[in-house]
Structures are given as C-alpha cells and as structure tokens.
A and B are shown apart, each in its own frame.
Chain A
Amino acid sequence: MKTKKSGFKGFLKKLYMYRAFLLMLAPAVIYTLIFAYYPMTGIVMAFKKYNYAGGIWGSPWNGFENFKFFFLSGQAGLVTRNTVLYNALFIAVNTIAQIAAAILLTEIHNKYFRKITQSLMFLPYFISWVIVGVMAFNIFSSDYGFLNRILTFFGKEKVSFYTTPEVWPFILLFFSVWKGIGYGSVMYLAAIMGIDTSIYEAAKIDGANVFQRIFKVTIPMIMPTTVILLLLSVGGIFKGNFDMFYNLVGGNGLLYNYTDVIDTLTFRALISSNDFGMSAAVGLYQSVLCFVTILLVNKLVGLYDKDYTLF
C-alpha cells in the first residue's frame, strides 16, 4: 500500500498516518528544542560585551576579546591538560571499576546480600560533593584528620596532605570512583541481564569455568553498551567536574598545579567581576573542543566496527 504521491500532499498524508507516533514523539522533541537548542543561541554572548540594559541580544559585539583573558593568564595550557588527563583517567578507571562491580554483583547468588551490597554501593552517588569535601577534610586534615590520627597512634610522622600536591590525583580518583561506581554499574548490570542465559548454559556444558565465562562471554556481549557509554563520556572530556574539584581542593593554591581544571580557574578569575561574556567564551572553548573530540573518536570507533558508533 505504498503511496506514490510525493510533495506536500504526501507529507500531510504521512503526517496524518503516523499521527499517534508523532504525538508520542512530540514531548521529547519539544523538550530538546527548548532545553538544548534554544539555549544554544546564547553562544552569541561569548562574542559580546554584556551589559544588563542590552541583555544577551542588545549588548555590543566584542569579537574574540572575551577569549583573551583565558590564554593571557598563562594557565590555559596547564588547566586544559589537567582537565583532559583527569577526565581520561576517570573515564578509564571508572569504566573498568563499574564493569567489574556489575560482574561481581551478578555472580553473587544470595539475593539479599546482593541487594544490600548494591544499595551500599549506590549510596555515595546521592551524597553531594559539598559533604564529600567535608568528609575528605576530616580524613586528610593534619590536626584532627582520621589518617593522621592513625599514623600518630602507630608512632609515625604526620603527613600534611593539603600541602602535598602529588597525592591529590589519587585522592581525586578515589572519590570519583567511590561516588560513581554504584550508579555507573547499573547500566552494565542491565546489559548483563540482557544476555541470553542459554549462552552461559552452553559455555558451562562445554566446560568453561567462571573466569572463562566472564572474559569470553560476558565482556564481549556488553561491549556495545560499553562503547556507547565511553563515547558519551568522552563527549565531556574538556569539562571539568567543578563540584568535585572545588569542594575537595577549594582555595588551596598549593595544589593548583595538580588539581586546577578549566572550570575552577574560570570561576576564580571571574567571580569578582561577574563578566558574563568571558564565562560564556570559556564555555564555548570547552564545547568546541569536546565537539571535535567526539567527532574524532566516533570516527575512530567507526573504523573498528561501524555498529559501535553513535552516529
């Protein structure tokens, strides 16, 4: 029953034919337009000398002037590097930890034990970074810190964590994994649950032990999910997690060489002057780099296997 009619009439007809589907689609489309596309017009702010009277559209143009401060500060290279390296590290370690957690959870056969374990792992996700910052301070502080109390109890020298920048990549990584593992593993758990159990039965009959079942069946089967999640997180690789860095490191300049990311630097530079244009410019800088990265990575993944790409 193909309609050969083309043009506007055909379009209307199709519109009518699929009206139920289109109606179901509408909320999502409208939501995306309002919350993802419309705000994007605000990009113009990066090129304007913003003032209250003119607002976003009426303020005078400013060319690339707003981008200058970021590069002039001499910190642009450092913070960009920090941001990318931290994110790469977080993505890699988090992905492995989350997959491992998901697999271990599925291997727990006692239902109650599994549920309790999963809930406990999930809990940190709901703790705000502000609280995590306070917890970290109480663990690492040199006066009353938990770790230093243990060290002094055993007669060891105190370690001043807040003046030792080298340890911070590890501390930050630890909290990132600790906080994300429960939430992140849910995706992989779902993917594992979706694997046909007959494959495992076949493997068992063929004599595969538990490790072989994990490495030869589970992991290859959840690969598509893994790649998609990886790609999605690579899309944000130039965006530092402000909440995390700000609450764990705060205003401690001694640690900045190891912990400063684009977002915290921008915050410090502009919090007193409230320059909307410059903040927008840094945001745009990050977005453009993220966009280029995701295009590249997506392409690379496509070279390996077309089915794994996002688009």
Chain B
Amino acid sequence: MRKAMKKLAAISLTAAMAGTMLAGCGNGNSDANSKSTDSKESSGASSESGAASAVDTSEHVDLTMYLIGERTPDFDEVYGKINEILEKKLNCSLNVEFLSWGEHDTKYSLLFSSQENFDLIFTASSWCHYEQTVALGGFAPLSEDFIKTYAPGIWDVVPKVAWDQAKIDGKIYMVPNYANEFGQDVIAVRGDLMKKYGIDKISSWDDLVKFYKACAADGIYAGQGELWFTYFQSKGYSITGGAPQGGELVLYNMQDPNDLEFKYILDWDGFRDYCHQMKELADAGCWSKDILNSTDERQTGLLTGKTATLIWNLGSCMTYAKQANAEHPDWNVTIVDPNASQPKKVNSYINNGVGINANSKHKERAMMVLNEFYTNPEVYDLAMLGIEGKHWEAVGDNQYKVIDESGYGVSKNCNWGWNNAKIQRTEFIENRTPLDDTYDALKEAFNNNIKPEHVYDGFNFDATKVSTQFAAVEAALGNYYSPLKNGLVDDVDKTIEEMKAALESAGIKDVLDEMNRQAAEYVAKKKAN
C-alpha cells in the first residue's frame, strides 16, 4: 500500500484522463431478431437462456467499464474483437477506461462522487474499495432475480458461498470472481545461496529465520523488510476483513473453526515475540535500514541481486523466479513454502470482482455484458489471453501456449474480476525446468491441503458506525506500527506500550466492541441459515 501510494504522486502528475474511444461505432445491423439465435450456449444454462433472450435488447446502447491498471499496446485491438461479439449478441458496445495503479486510490471515489454514469467497474474487497464504495452508496445492489434474469451463466458458476461473502447488510453489490486463489504467500529464494549456507530446505518459520541470519552474516540483504504475514500464518492466524490497517490489527485463528475469539495484536504475545525477532533480524542486517523509505517494488530486490528472497503469492513468485533465472542462470532461484505444514486458506471470492454503478443507465445490459465476459469462452479467452494466433495458441481445449506476451500479456489486463476457474485455460510448458516441477508440486500441495472453513473467513467488518474512532486509530498508529513490524525501534516493549496507549485513547476499544457485536450477529445469522 505504501509503495502504491508513493507511485500515486508520481503518476498522477503525468496521467491524464485520456480516454480512448473504442471503435464501437455500432454500424447498423441491429436487427433485433438475430440475437436470440446465438444467445447463451456458454456454460450449459439452457433452461435459463430462454429467459435471457427474452430480455429486450433492441435498443443499441454504449456502455463504459472502468478497469485498474495501464492500457497495454494491443488492448484496443483485443477489445475491438470483443466488441464485435457484444455488438452481435447484445446489441451494445463497450468502452473501457483505465484507472492506473498509482491513481486508483484517489480517483476511484471521484468517479462516484462526480456522479458519472459509467456502468461497470472493477472492485475488490479491502484492496480495491469495495466496502468503502458500498458504504457511500456507490454500487447498485444486485438482487437474486436480477442476476438470474440477466446473468444466468454467472448464477450457475458462482457458488453460494461467494455470494454470501459479497453480501453487506444482506445485499450483494458485486459479482465475485470464481477462482481458488490462495491467501498465503510463498518465497522465491536464491538456490545458490541456500547451497552456500548449507540450508537444503525452508519449510518452517525457524528455517526461514536461519536463512535470513545466514544471509546477513554473508553481507547480503535477505529480504525487503517485515515478515508479519508469514509469522502469523505460521501460527495459524489470519487478518480480519475490514479491521484497521487492512485487517492486520485484528487477527483470528483461521485453522480452528471453533475459536471465535478476535486477537487484537497488541494484546497478543505473538506480536511481541514477532517484534523482538524482527529487531534481532534488523539489527543483524537482514534488510536495509532505509526500508521504510524505499520505493522499490516487491520484486526489485530479488531481480537486482540486492536481496536473496522475494515474498509474494505463488503466481508472482513464479513469474519473477523465472525472470531471475533467465537473467542469471547461476542463481538457481527456487520457490519454498515457509509454512508448509499449515493448511491453506482459499482467498475469499470477493478478492476480485465487478460492481455496477448505482448511476448506470443500463444496469441490465451491463449485467448481460458481464455474463459474456464471465461465461462465454470466446470472450473469456480474448480478455485473458488476447488474440488467438497473435498472442497465444490453443493446446487442446483447456491449455494455451504463449506466442507473444509483449503487446497484451496473460491475465495482465484486469480481467480478474471475471476469473472463472471452470473455463480458464492453463499454460502448456514445453521445456520444463526444475522450477516448473517445484511450482506444480507446491500448487498440488496447496490444493491438497485446504483448511476447514472458519465462519470468519467471510466476515467483513463494516466500520461506518465507528468511523470516527476508526480514522483516529489509523491516524494514531502511524508512528509505531511499521517501525515495529520492521524491527526498527530501539525498545520493542516500550514502543508496544506506547502504541497501546495511543490506540486506547484513539478509541480502539469502541472499534473492537463494535466488531465483536457485528461478528456475533454474523455468526448467529450463519447458524440460523
């Protein structure tokens, strides 16, 4: 977050709202009869497809969708193809605008406050404004009937648990993606250094600490600072959705479904232990003293050889491990799971999704378009992979091979909002390396070791009732939290006490009380169903 914020300032200076109109000029051929012939054969929703094609699409409409990220060079070409399909099937054209990574934090809310009447927008719980926008009334609520009528395909694919997660105050405001993403990070690590230090595996917290210290003793930075997530995950804990600091301030025991207690980290011995360990690592020189001011991206350290590791999700670790190995074959970068013994948490499905703007003039058509993206394999492949024959080629029915990633890129164009594991192609790899095997083995291990569901997995704290205390807490913790997390304070215990006192007077108790109240209500409702 901090790094994204920093970039914000840089990018917002140069970024203009230069919207490129897609070539959706709607050249006639809007005869209302052609559409029913090729409506929904997408994901076997034959019974509902009758209802969908009964929807009146005789009027041509232009829709606008906002995505997050940068427009890739071939984006307009790819979406031109998508528009041809949409034009024919739904008699509409779609114009896509981008909010760049740097500016979305500030511009996202402006889109709503300026009452623009765009139709679709990417959203995500906690990292992409879902809760805040719902709290301010930005999204249109989606009723069950509405979804069934206009997006029967989506209704078939998305499991009930996903819809439940998307519910705020009993109403659904986004279409969640459907993919088993794992919420636990792994570590890409330099194989040559592991060999040098005589460490043959890193599969637990202690292994990791040992490796970090070995790096520091050798005079190379081990990583880019804090290991907070790795630590509390090793203890079986998880962040709580909607809690302060992106959920980090309040944890729950995700491995034990019967444990319904929230752990406020300042009252948890684990946090103290973690901070002491971090101070030891930081003092040993496991990472730079300037880490809090560094604007490096997560992968920079590993790729430039400044650090020995990269902590990220499995997919990103793979991408950069590959890149590092291609540039420095002697590094022998591999991927390890520091919490190998812990069962894995599947990310909530609302970690990616699409919402419909409350001000949209064509909510029905927008939903139908989303249905195409979600369930029409042709549109899905275009949005995820680009143009067949130019960017990728098909291998069988469910695999792809990359031809050229430079113009579009696989899954790089914010197509995550409609991730659909049912029709998503996987990559076909010709010359396998040991890294590929490690990757597949880890993936399999993850999938074979999914943790039992905890009722709080889907819980999302709504802070509107205590917004004053919430903001005060966010303001008060800045002086202590990240220095503590990175082991950069002089006296750990003293700083923890100071932070505790500061948050106390900022009203953390009210926030926790409200949280417990909402959680109890949530659990009761869950049990009743």
Q: Footprint of B on A, CB under 8 Å?
A: 50-55, 65, 68-70, 72-75, 128-130, 134, 137, 141-143, 160, 162-163, 243, 246-247, 249-254, 256-257, 260, 265-266, 268-276, 278
Contact = CB atoms under 8 A, between A and B. Distances in A.
A75 B290 contact: no
Contacts of A73: 471-473, 475-476, 506
Interface in B138-161: 138
Contact of A74 (B2, B471, B502): B502
Contact of A128 (B13, B138, B289, B469): B13
Nearest to B476: A73
B259 interface: no
Nearest to B110: A274
Interface core residue of B2, B136, B295, B481 (most chain A CB under 10 Å):
B136
6 closest A-B pairs by CB: A269-B475, A73-B475, A72-B472, A69-B471, A252-B292, A251-B2
Given A250-B292, A252-B292, A163 B488 contact: yes
Contact of A253 (B246, B295, B470, B482): B482
A80 B262 CA distance: 35
B105 A250 contact: no
Given A51-B137, A52-B358, A130 B9 contact: yes
A68 B5 contact: no
A273 B502 contact: no
Contacts of A55: 113, 115
A52 B137 contact: yes
B391 to A, nearest CB: 34
B136 A143 contact: no
Please classify how large the interface on chain B is, using the bins under 10, 10 to 19, 20 to 34, 35 or more: 35 or more
Contacts of A250: 2, 6, 292-293, 295
Interface string B274-298: 0000000000000011101111000
Interface in B176-228: none
Given A69-B469, A253-B481, 7 more contacts: A55-B115, A69-B467, A69-B468, A129-B9, A265-B475, A269-B471, A273-B474
B480 A271 contact: no
Contacts of A72: 468-469, 472, 505-507
Contacts of A272: 132, 246, 474
SS class, residues of chain A in contact with chain B: helix
A142 B221 CA distance: 13
Contact of B478 (A68, A160, A260): A260
Contacts of B481: 253
B293 A274 contact: no
Contacts of A65: 468
B470 A143 contact: no
Contacts of B290: 137, 141-143, 160, 162
B319 interface: no
A253 B108 CA distance: 27
B463 interface: yes
A130 B246 CA distance: 26
B129 interface: yes
Nearest to A65: B468
Interface in B94-140: 105, 108-109, 112-113, 115, 129, 132-133, 135-138
Contacts of A143: 288, 290
Contacts of A134: 295
B305 to A, nearest CB: 13
A54 B113 CA distance: 9
Interface in B1-41: 2, 5-6, 9-10, 13
Contacts of A253: 292, 478-483
Nearest to B132: A274
A108 B91 CA distance: 73
B482 A142 contact: no
Nearest to A242: B9
B129 to A, nearest CB: 7
Contact of B474 (A50, A243, A269, A276): A269
Nearest to B10: A130
A162 B289 contact: yes
A134 B293 CA distance: 10
Nearest to B139: A52
